[in-house]
Amino acid sequence: MPNDSNLRLKERADVVARTVLSQQSFYQSDQCTQNQKQLLETMVGAAIWYFPQSDELWTGGISVEALKALAESSQPKKVKLTKDHRYPRKVAAAELFLLNWSVIEDPAEEVLSRYLSCYGQYNFVLPEENKRLVKYQKTKSFISPEQAYEQAGIQLKQLSRPLLRAIQSGETELAALVLSGDID
């Protein structure tokens, strides 16, 4: 990530950490209704959504259906791939509100670290697969990214960024090779 992006990311992580710390006692109190908790989670989750994104956050995962669409397309650049964040942002926000911040030395660094290692990571899926995932990524039902993908019937394959770029630029036979297991 370029320096400007790093600075923006650190500043946003700091704002999220400060927001969570300032609202945590209310969030955890008996005075906070479920509706209010959901609003706080939505607000913090939205802030996480607006963190700068980079290619480094891609897990290397792409759905089998997306690979098939690329392999079968005469214009693979026009195949719409959606970045599906493995970890739902409202779930991430709820997790932050439940952390014991008293044992964390640098809250902004904690948020940043969680974003880079978990909350910001994404896979490529087709838009219709992304819609299927939504019901398994709700705060009340979410267990893990793996379980959500399994429940939505989405299988992932791993590939490198250069291989994805080659497939998108027209080397669709590479997608077929990845699907068959002959290349990874």
- pLDDT tens per residue, range 16-63: 999 999 999 999 999 999 999 999 999 999 999 889 888 899 999 999
The C-alpha torsion from 35 through 43 and 122 to 124, rounded to 10°, is: 80
| One-letter amino acid for residue 31 of the chain | Q
- What is the C-alpha separation between 148 and 135, in angstroms, rounded? 9
Tell me if the pTM is above 0.75: yes
Rg, the chain, Cα only: 19
For residue 1, pLDDT over 50 is answered with: no
Q: For residue 34, how many other CB atoms are within 10 A of its CB? A: 7
* pLDDT single digits (tens) 130-153: 999 999 998 888 999 999 999 999
Q: How many Å apart are CA 41 and CA 16, to the nearest integer?
A: 11
